C-alpha cells in the first residue's frame, strides 16, 4: 500500500514539474516573439534580459553626450558635510560628471575635496566660490566645455544638462541656471539650483573679472548675486534655460515643494526673473535644490534603477548644434530679455562700483 501511495505522490510531483516546464517554455517562446516584433524606435521596459537591448538607444545617446559635451562639476561643501551631503553627491549624480571636485576648507583625498583656505561662514561664500573658480581655471580651464557650480544639497540630472547644452558653443560668453532678478538688468542665477558657465565665460571671469576690482570687487553679499553682477560687467550673457513651454529646468527648490503646483506667497516670488506658470517644472528638468542625502539616493533609485514594465522610455531628439551666426543671435536676444516680475524687490545694496 505504501509503495502504491509513494508512486502516486511521485507521479503527481513529476506531472506538476513537467507542466511548469511546458508553461515556462511557452512563455519564453511568446516573449521572444514579442521582443523581436517590438520596434527599436519605441523602447519598452522588459524583463531583465531585454532591458539592455531596449536601453541601447538611451545609453548610446548618454555616452555620445558624455564625450561631446564635457561638464566639470565643482560642488560647494564644508568639512562637517564631507561624510554626509557631499558623500551623497559623489555616490549619486556626481559620478556622471566628466570630472568632480568639492570646494571645502579641508582637503579630503577620498572625497575629492580641495582646501581653498577660506574660512567657513556665510559671509565668505562669494570669496569661496571665487577661489574655487580661480582654482578650476588654473588646473582644468582648457580641459572641459562647461563648468557647473552646485551646492552639496543640489541634485543634477547630468544627461538632461548635457542634452540642453549640446547646441551651444562652449567658447561663447554665456552662463545658464535659474534666473533671479536684481537691481541690475540681466539679473543672476540661483546658487542653490546650480549654474553652469561656458569655457569662454570661465576664461573671461578669470582673465578680466578677477584681475580687476572694478568688475569683481570683494563682497560679503550673496555668492550667486555678486558673481552674476561680476559676469554681467565682463560681458557674459545670462542665457535662458527654460523649455519650449516656458517652464524652468533649473529649480531652486526640491520637487516636494514645487508639486503638484508652484507655491505662492514664498520668498521666491519677488526673485523670479520670469513669473512662473502654474506648472513650473519642465519634463526635461536639470536640477533641484534643498535635497537631503537620503532624498538623493531616492532620486537615484527612481531615475536610474527602477524599471516600470510595459511603459515606453520616451527619448527626445537631440537638438542640432547652432552655427556661429545662430549662436550670436541667441546671445543678442538673451541680452535684451527683461524681467516680467513687477513685485517690489527687497532692499539690495547698490550695484555701483568704485
- Bridge partners (DSSP) listed for residue 100: 73
Q: Cell for 114?
A: 580641495
Q: Cα separation of 320 and 354, whole Å? A: 43
Cα-Cα-Cα-Cα dihedral sign, residues 66, 151, 191, 225: negative
Gyration radius of the chain over CA positions:
26
Give the separation between CA 180 and CA 257, rounded to whole angstroms. 18
In 3D, which of 16, 13, 46 has the Cα closest to residue 31? 46
Q: How far is CA 109 from CA 14, 38, 79, 102, 115, in A?
A: 60, 48, 12, 10, 10
Measured CA to CA, the distance from residue 84 to residue 332 in angstroms comes to 43
pLDDT given for residue 349 in this prediction:
47
Q: Walk along the chain (354 residues) and give the pLDDT tens digit of each residue.
A: 444 443 433 344 334 343 443 333 333 333 333 333 333 332 332 232 333 333 555 678 899 999 999 999 999 999 999 999 999 999 999 999 999 999 999 999 999 999 999 999 989 999 999 999 999 999 999 999 999 999 999 999 999 999 999 999 999 999 999 999 888 889 999 999 999 999 999 999 999 999 999 999 988 778 999 999 999 999 999 999 999 998 999 999 887 777 666 666 676 767 778 877 766 678 899 999 999 999 999 999 999 999 888 877 777 889 999 999 999 999 999 999 998 877 766 655 444 333
pLDDT for residue 278: 66
Q: Extract the C-alpha cell encoding 341.
A: 516680475
**What is the average pLDDT value for the chain, to the nearest integer?**
82
Domains of the chain: 66-336 (3.90.550)
Amino acid at each position: 500500500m505504501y509503495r502504491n501511495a509513494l508512486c502516486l505522490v511521485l507521479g503527481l510531483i513529476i506531472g506538476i514539474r513537467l507542466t511548469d516546464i511546458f508553461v515556462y517554455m511557452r512563455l519564453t517562446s511568446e516573449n521572444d516573439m514579442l521582443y523581436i516584433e517590438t520596434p527599436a524606435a519605441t523602447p519598452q521596459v522588459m524583463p531583465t534580459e531585454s532591458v539592455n537591448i531596449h536601453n541601447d538607444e538611451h545609453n548610446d545617446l548618454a555616452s555620445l553626450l558624455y564625450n561631446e559635451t564635457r561638464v566639470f562639476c565643482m560642488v560647494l561643501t564644508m568639512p562637517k558635510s564631507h561624510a554626509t551631503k557631499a558623500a551623497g553627491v559623489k555616490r549619486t549624480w556626481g559620478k556622471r560628471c566628466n570630472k568632480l571636485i568639492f570646494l571645502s576648507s579641508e582637503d579630503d583625498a577620498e572625497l575629492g575635496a580641495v582646501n581653498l583656505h577660506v574660512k567657513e561662514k556665510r559671509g565668505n561664500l562669494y570669496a569661496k566660490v571665487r577661489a574655487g573658480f580661480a582654482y578650476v581655471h588654473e588646473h582644468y580651464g582648457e580641459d572641459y566645455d562647461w563648468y557647473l557650480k552646485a551646492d552639496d544639497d543640489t541634485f543634477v540630472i547630468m544627461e538632461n544638462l548635457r542634452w540642453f547644452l549640446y547646441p551651444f558653443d562652449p567658447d561663447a560668453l554665456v552662463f545658464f541656471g535659474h534666473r533671479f532678478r536684481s537691481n541690475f538688468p540681466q539679473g543672476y542665477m540661483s546658487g542653490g539650483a546650480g549654474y553652469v558657465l561656458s569655457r569662454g565665460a570661465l576664461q573671461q571671469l578669470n582673465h578680466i573679472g578677477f584681475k580687476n576690482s572694478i568688475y569683481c570687487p570683494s563682497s560679503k553679499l550673496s555668492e550667486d548675486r555678486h558673481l552674476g553682477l561680476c559676469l554681467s560687467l565682463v560681458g557674459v550673457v545670462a542665457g535662458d534655460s527654460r523649455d519650449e513651454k516656458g517652464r524652468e529646468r533649473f529649480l531652486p527648490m526640491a520637487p516636494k515643494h514645487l508639486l503638484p503646483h508652484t507655491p505662492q506667497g514664498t520668498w521666491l516670488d519677488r526673485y523670479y526673473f520670469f513669473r512662473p506658470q502654474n506648472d513650473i517644472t519642465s519634463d526635461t528638468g536639470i536640477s533641484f535644490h534643498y535635497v537631503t542625502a537620503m532624498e538623493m539616493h531616492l532620486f537615484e533609485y527612481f531615475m536610474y534603477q527602477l524599471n516600470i514594465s510595459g511603459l515606453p522610455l520616451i527619448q527626445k531628439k537631440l537638438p542640432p548644434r547652432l552655427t556661429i551666426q545662430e549662436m550670436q543671435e541667441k546671445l543678442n536676444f538673451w541680452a535684451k530679455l527683461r524681467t516680467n516680475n513687477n513685485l517690489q524687490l527687497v532692499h539690495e545694496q547698490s550695484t555701483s562700483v568704485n
